[in-house]
Amino acid sequence: MRRADSAALLTASAARRGGALPPQGFQAWWEGRNRANDVEVVPIPFKEMEHWRFEEPSGNLVHDSGRFFSIEGLRVERGGGAATAHPIINQAEIGILGILVKEFDGVLHCLMQAKFEPGNVNLRQLSPTVQATWSNYTRVHGGGNTPYVEYFRQAGRDRILVDVLQSEQGGWFWRKRNRNMVVLVTEDIPVYEDYCWLTLGQVMDLMHVENLVNMDTRTIMACMPVDHPGDPDDAALARSYASGADEHGAALHPLGEIVSWFTDAKTRCDWKPRLVPLNGVEGWSRTGDEIADDGRRDFRIIAVRVGAATREVATWTQPLLATREIGQSAFLARPIGGVLHFLVQARPEPGLLDVLEIAPTVQLPPTTGALLASAGMPYVEQALGDRGGRVRFDAVLSEEGGRFHHAQTRYRIVEVGEEFPVRVPEDYCWMTAGQLMELLRHGHYLNIEARSLVTCIHSMR
Amino acid sequence: MRRADSAALLTASAARRGGALPPQGFQAWWEGRNRANDVEVVPIPFKEMEHWRFEEPSGNLVHDSGRFFSIEGLRVERGGGAATAHPIINQAEIGILGILVKEFDGVLHCLMQAKFEPGNVNLRQLSPTVQATWSNYTRVHGGGNTPYVEYFRQAGRDRILVDVLQSEQGGWFWRKRNRNMVVLVTEDIPVYEDYCWLTLGQVMDLMHVENLVNMDTRTIMACMPVDHPGDPDDAALARSYASGADEHGAALHPLGEIVSWFTDAKTRCDWKPRLVPLNGVEGWSRTGDEIADDGRRDFRIIAVRVGAATREVATWTQPLLATREIGQSAFLARPIGGVLHFLVQARPEPGLLDVLEIAPTVQLPPTTGALLASAGMPYVEQALGDRGGRVRFDAVLSEEGGRFHHAQTRYRIVEVGEEFPVRVPEDYCWMTAGQLMELLRHGHYLNIEARSLVTCIHSMR
C-alpha cells in the first residue's frame, strides 16, 4: 500500500507543482526498484558474525579492521551521585550525507536514491544522493565505489549550498556527526538506476508517506536554505519563515536571546557522560543473540546477515540496534503576534558532543512504557493526544536503517490557538521557522529529531 | 612605567571621546588600587600545598573537595600512529565572565575591575565586572560572595546583550568553556573600590598598554556587537565591519562558504585526544617543585602560596601553569576589493571540545625555540617580522592569571598590500571583521587567541 500511495502522491505533486518527472516516470522507477529486491536480512547469533568479535576484557563489540563502528558502554553521572549506563554505538568517523541539486526548466531538482539499508522496515527508502561513512568512501571494506561521492569531495566552494556538521541520535550514538551537504551541478551527470531527479516539492509531498523519506534526506532538507515551501495559503507560516536572523523582527525572542537561553540551559546541565567497557554496564546482559536490558524495555543490540547485490559489498554481517516501540517527536506550534512559532526544548542526550541540543517540544524514546512514564511531562497531552489542536503534520518515519533495526518515530506538528499560554518552563522556548533555519546554518544546535521536524514544517499543508 | 602609561592614555581617551570619568578620576583610582597591594605570591614545593594532593595511582593533582580543577594527562593520537602527551588542566565547570554596562549621558560605560590574580606579571589587571568559576560563585570554598554576580544570574533576558559559551586555551585546558556575558543595567548600582565605570573607547585605548587589559575582558569585548569602534578614518575597515552575515555582501567569501571551509577542515583532522593519568605521560617528570618536560621547552606546573586581602579567600595555595617564553598571535590583514580582510587558520588544539577552532594567521606557543621551529610555516615572516607591512596593532598582553603564571602573548595585526596573494593554503581563509563578529554570536568558532585579536581590531588606530 505504501508504494502505491507514494506514487499517487508524486503524480499529483508533479502535476500541481510542475516538477519535471524523469522520462520513465517516478512511479515506474520506484516500483521497479522495489520489485528488484534481491535482498534479505536475517537475524543471526553473534557467533556467526564475520569480522566482528567481542573484545576482551572490555566486552566491546568491534570490527577486525578497527574501523566502522563499535558497540561500547556509556555511563552518565549526574549531580547528586545518580548514574545510568547503557550500550552505545561509537562511530568516530565523519561521514557525508549529500544531495546533488540541478535546475531543469527553471525548477530545482534533487538527485534522490532508492537505497536499501539492512534495518529498514521496508528495505528501500528515498535517500540522499550520497550517504557514506568515511570507511565507505575511502573503500576500507574493499567494496565498490560510492557513486557520486566525487561531486561532494571535489566540489568548488561556490557550488556548495550546504555544508555543516550535524549530530545524530544522542541516546544511541557517541558523538556521531555527519557532514550534511547540498551541492549544485550545472553539467550533465549520469543517472544510475537506483537514482532519480525529483523536485523539492515532490520530496516534501512524499514526507507524508509512512517510512518513505529516510532520516538522512530529512536532516539535509532541514539544513537547506529554502524559501517558505510550506502551505502557500498560510500567512502566519510565511511570516514565520521570514523571521530569521533579524534581531528586531517579528519573533517573540530575538536570536541573541535564544542563544542566551540555550547557553543558560547548558550551564545548568550537570550530566557527565563517558565511555566505559560494555562488560561494565550494569543492568544489561548478553545472550547468544542479543544484548538487552534486564527490564526488556529499552533497545537491544542484535546481529544480522545481509545478502544484497546493490550495495558496496554483496553480502555481510553486522550488528544493529533494534527498538521495541515507536518513538514520538512533536512540535507544538502557535501563532504569536500573527507569526507561527514552534516550541522547542533544550534537552540533554548523553552521546551529543556538548550533551545539550535543541529538541522537539515532546520527544519520547521508543522504549516500552515511555508514554506511561511521560505522565506529567510538559505538553505531552497537547502534542500527542487527539484533542490538542489542529494537526499540521502526522506521519511515522524511519530512523537510520544502516545502524538501527526497524526504528520508527511518529512525527507530529500540532497547532494550538492563542488561548495557549505563551509563558513556558525554563527549558522551553518559542522560535520561528526562520530562526530554526538560521541556527541550522551551524552545527550542534538542533538535534536530529528537531531537524526531521523542520523538514516536516517545510512539508506542512 | 606601565601604570603611568595607562593613566595618561585614559586621560587622553576620555578627553577625546567624551567618556565620563568617575568622580575621583581613573588615574587616582588605578594607582590607588595598585598602591594597596597587600598581596604576595610565593612559589612553594608541592608538599606545602593545602587541600591539594597527588592522587594515586593516577598521579593527578587534585583538590580535596573534588572541585575547582585538576592537573591530569592528555594523550593525542593522530592518523598513522603518531602520538603526543602532556599535562593538562581539567576544569569541567562553566564559569561566568561578565561585564555590566550602563549608559551615562548617552555614552555606554563598562564596569571594570582592578583584579588581582596570582599568576599576573603585575598583580592587577583591568578585568570584567565578574570573573567567577561555578565553585566561586556558589561558594564551595567558603569565601565571600562574588560581587555583582547576581546581576548575571538573575538578569532579565531583554537585558542580556551577550551570552555565549566560548573556549579557552586548547593546549592547556581540557574542554574548558566560560559563559561570556554582557548585561545592561539602567538602575543605580553600588561601585565598590576595586571597580570603575569606563567607556568602551577607554578600554579600547588601554588595549595598547602592555599587560593591562586582561584575557577575560578581551574575550567578552570580542563578543560585543560593537559598531565599528576601529580607526574612524579607515574606510576599508569600516566596510569590513559592515560586511557580516549578508550572503551577498562585499566579503571575499559568503558566510556559508566559510562554514563549509571550517566543516571541511574538521573532516580532515584526525586528532583523537583523551585524558590519561598524569603518571602515564611520557617525557614529563615531577620533582618536589615542578612538573616539567624532559626537554625543558614547554610549560611547567608549579605551586604557589598566595596572601591577599582582596579576594574571596584571604590566603590560599594552588597550582599554576608557568610558561617559559612569550607566545605569538598575529592576524595578517589585507584590503580585498576595498574591504579589509583578516587571514584566519583552522587550527587543531587537543583540549578544544571539537578539536578545531578558528585561530590567528600565526599562533606560536610560548615554548622555547617555537620561533625557530616555525621556519617554513606559512605567513610567519610577514606576521612577525619587521618588514611585513603596516603594523596596525602590537602589544604584549597577558593570558589568564588565575591558572597561568606570567603567561604572555604578543598580539600583532599587520596590514599587507594588494600585491599580497589572495590565494591561501587549504587551512586558511580570509574573513571580514563583520564575519568574525557574526561567528562570535555562537560558541566554538574562534579560539581564545583569535578572540583577543578581534578586540585588537576594535582598538586599531
- Structural domain ending residue among the three candidates B149, B173, B200: B200
First to last CA, chain B: 22
Chain B residues whose C-beta is within 8 A of a chain A C-beta are 92, 94, 157-158, 160-165, 179, 225, 245, 253, 255-257, 259-261, 263-264, 266-267, 272, 353-354, 441-444
Q: Spell out where A187-254 has E strands.
A: 195-199
| Cβ–Cβ below 8 Å for A165 and B266 | yes
Q: Which residues on chain B are in Cβ contact (under 8 Å) with A158?
A: 257
Q: Which residues on chain A are in Cβ contact (under 8 Å) with B248?
A: none
pLDDT exceeds 70 at position B6:
no
Mean pLDDT of A238-263: 89
Q: Which residue has the cell 592522587?
A: B55
C-alpha cell at A200: 523539492
Residues B328 and B181 in one domain: no
pLDDT exceeds 90 at position B38:
no
| Cβ–Cβ below 8 Å for A179 and B353 | no
C-alpha cell at B13: 581617551
At residue A8, φ and ψ (nearest 5 deg) are -60, -45
Chain B residue closest in CA terms to A260? B163
Average pLDDT, chain A: 90
Q: Comparing C-alpha atoms, which of A156, A97, A104 is closest to residue A130?
A: A97
Number of Cβ within 10 Å of residue A67's Cβ equals 17
pLDDT tier, B21 (very low <50, low <70, confident <90, very high otherwise): low
| Cβ–Cβ below 8 Å for B263 and A442 | no
Amino acid (one-letter) located at B200: L
Q: Which residues on chain A are in Cβ contact (under 8 Å) with B165?
A: 263, 266-267
Asked, for residue A293, whether it belongs to a domain, the answer is no
Residue B356, pLDDT score: 98
Amino acid (one-letter) located at B122: N
Q: Comparing C-alpha atoms, which of A357, A391, A393 is closest to residue A166?
A: A357
Q: Which residue has the cell 587616582?
A: B28
Report which DSSP code applies to B269. -
Q: Which of B92, B225, B256 lies at the smallest CB-CB distance from A441?
A: B256
pLDDT tier, B37 (very low <50, low <70, confident <90, very high otherwise): low
Better-predicted residue by pLDDT, A50 or A139: A50
Residues A367 and A244 in one domain: yes
Asked, for residue A76, whether it belongs to a domain, the answer is no
Mean pLDDT of A249-272: 94
The interface predicted TM-score (ipTM) is 0.91
Residues B148 and B243 in one domain: no
Percent of chain A with pLDDT over 90: 76
| Cβ–Cβ below 8 Å for A157 and B94 | no
Q: How many residues does chain B have?
A: 461
Q: Which residues on chain B are in Cβ contact (under 8 Å) with A160?
A: 256-257, 260
Better-predicted residue by pLDDT, B11 or B410: B410
How many domains does chain B fold into? 2
Asked, for residue B291, whether it belongs to a domain, the answer is no
Which of B149, B179, B267 to probe the A interface (max A CBs under 10 A)?
Answer: B267
pLDDT exceeds 60 at position A194:
yes
pLDDT exceeds 80 at position B249:
no
Alpha carbon distances (Å) from B13 to A394, B32, B129, B232, B454: 62, 20, 21, 14, 20
Which of B133-142, B211-220, B264-273, B325-334 is predicted least confidently? Answer: B133-142
Smallest CA–CA distance, residue A164 to chain B, in Å, is 6
Residues B334 and B429 in one domain: yes
| Cβ–Cβ below 8 Å for B163 and A353 | no
Given a contact cutoff of 8 angstroms between Cβ atoms, the answer to whether A285 and A97 are in contact is: no
Q: Which residues on chain A are in Cβ contact (under 8 Å) with B97?
A: none
DSSP class per residue in B328-358 = EEEEEEEEETTEEEEEEEEEE-TTSTTSEEE
Residue A191, pLDDT score: 94
Q: Which residues on chain A are in Cβ contact (under 8 Å) with B354?
A: 353
pLDDT digits (tens, 9 = 90+) for A214-225: 999 999 999 998
Task: Give helix A215-223 / helix A448-458 axis angle, nearest 10°.
Answer: 70
Given a contact cutoff of 8 angstroms between Cβ atoms, the answer to whether A251 and A337 are in contact is: no
A273 bridge partner residues: A76
pLDDT digits (tens, 9 = 90+) for B335-392: 999 999 999 999 999 999 999 999 999 999 999 999 889 988 999 999 999 887 999 9
Mean pLDDT of B13-21: 41
Mean pLDDT of B58-75: 95
Smallest CA–CA distance, residue A264 to chain B, in Å, is 8
Q: Which of A157, A245, A443 lies at the smallest CB-CB distance from B245?
A: A245
Q: Which residues on chain A are in Cβ contact (under 8 Å) with B428?
A: none
Residues B16 and B159 in one domain: yes
Q: Which residues on chain A are in Cβ contact (under 8 Å) with B256?
A: 160-163, 225, 441
Which of A70-74, A318-322, B22-26 is predicted least confidently? Answer: B22-26
Residues A259 and A359 in one domain: yes
Q: Which of A157, A263, A444 lies at the smallest CB-CB distance from B260?
A: A157
Q: Which of A161, A256, A267 lies at the smallest CB-CB distance from B179?
A: A267
Q: Is A292 helix (H, G, I), strand (E, B) or coil?
A: strand
A345's CB contacts (< 8 A; 6+ apart) are: A358, A359, A360, A361, A362, A363, A427, A428, A429
pLDDT exceeds 60 at position B424:
yes
Smallest CA–CA distance, residue A133 to chain B, in Å, is 11
Smallest CA–CA distance, residue A75 to chain B, in Å, is 16
| Cβ–Cβ below 8 Å for B157 and A261 | yes
Residues B239 and B195 in one domain: no
- Structural domain ending residue among the three candidates B200, B225, B252: B200
Smallest CA–CA distance, residue B94 to chain A, in Å, is 6
Smallest CA–CA distance, residue B23 to chain A, in Å, is 34
Q: Which residues on chain A are in Cβ contact (under 8 Å) with B266?
A: 94, 165
| Cβ–Cβ below 8 Å for A256 and B165 | no
Q: Comparing C-alpha atoms, which of B72, B99, B263 is closest to residue B175?
A: B72
Residues A107 and A180 in one domain: yes
Smallest CA–CA distance, residue B350 to chain A, in Å, is 15
Number of Cβ within 10 Å of residue B50's Cβ equals 12
Mean pLDDT of A232-245: 90
Alpha carbon distances (Å) from A106 to A10, A103, B225: 19, 6, 40
Range of the domain at A174: 3-37+92-200
| Cβ–Cβ below 8 Å for A272 and B353 | no
Mean pLDDT of B184-207: 93
Asked, for residue B51, whether it belongs to a domain, the answer is no
| Cβ–Cβ below 8 Å for A441 and B261 | no
Residues B187 and B335 in one domain: no
Q: Could you give the CA distance from residue B55 to residue B105 in angstroms, rounded to a whole number?
A: 56
Smallest CA–CA distance, residue B257 to chain A, in Å, is 6
Better-predicted residue by pLDDT, A16 or B405: B405
| Cβ–Cβ below 8 Å for B272 and A92 | yes
Q: Could you give the CA distance from residue B361 to residue B369 in angstroms, rounded to a whole number?
A: 19
pLDDT exceeds 50 at position B13:
no
CATH of residue A154: 3.90.79.40
Q: Which residue has the cell 510550506?
A: A230
Contacts 24+ apart (CB under 8 A), A27-35: A29/A114, A29/A196, A30/A3, A30/A6, A30/A114, A30/A196, A31/A3, A31/A7, A33/A114, A33/A124, A33/A193, A33/A194, A34/A3, A34/A114, A34/A123, A34/A124
Residues B160 and B103 in one domain: yes
| Cβ–Cβ below 8 Å for A264 and B163 | yes
Q: Is B364 helix (H, G, I), strand (E, B) or coil?
A: strand
Q: Which of B94, B163, B256 lies at the smallest CB-CB distance from A259?
A: B163
pLDDT tier, B438 (very low <50, low <70, confident <90, very high otherwise): very high
Chain B residue closest in CA terms to A254? B158
Asked, for residue B313, whether it belongs to a domain, the answer is no
Residues A150 and A248 in one domain: no
Asked, for residue B205, whether it belongs to a domain, the answer is no
Q: Comparing C-alpha atoms, which of A87, A44, A79 is closest to residue A291?
A: A87
C-alpha cell at A271: 550530566
pLDDT tier, A36 (very low <50, low <70, confident <90, very high otherwise): low
- Structural domain ending residue among the three candidates A200, A217, A247: A200
Q: Comparing C-alpha atoms, which of B276, B274, B272 is closest to residue B60?
A: B276
Smallest CA–CA distance, residue A410 to chain B, in Å, is 31
Q: Which residues on chain A are in Cβ contact (under 8 Å) with B161?
A: 256
Smallest CA–CA distance, residue B5 to chain A, in Å, is 37
Residues B355 and B431 in one domain: yes
Asked, for residue A352, whether it belongs to a domain, the answer is yes
Q: Could you give the CA distance from residue B277 to residue B61 in angstroms, rounded to a whole number?
A: 10
Cα-trace Rg, chain B: 22
Asked, for residue B76, whether it belongs to a domain, the answer is no
Residue A123, pLDDT score: 86
pLDDT tier, B92 (very low <50, low <70, confident <90, very high otherwise): confident
| Cβ–Cβ below 8 Å for B260 and A354 | no
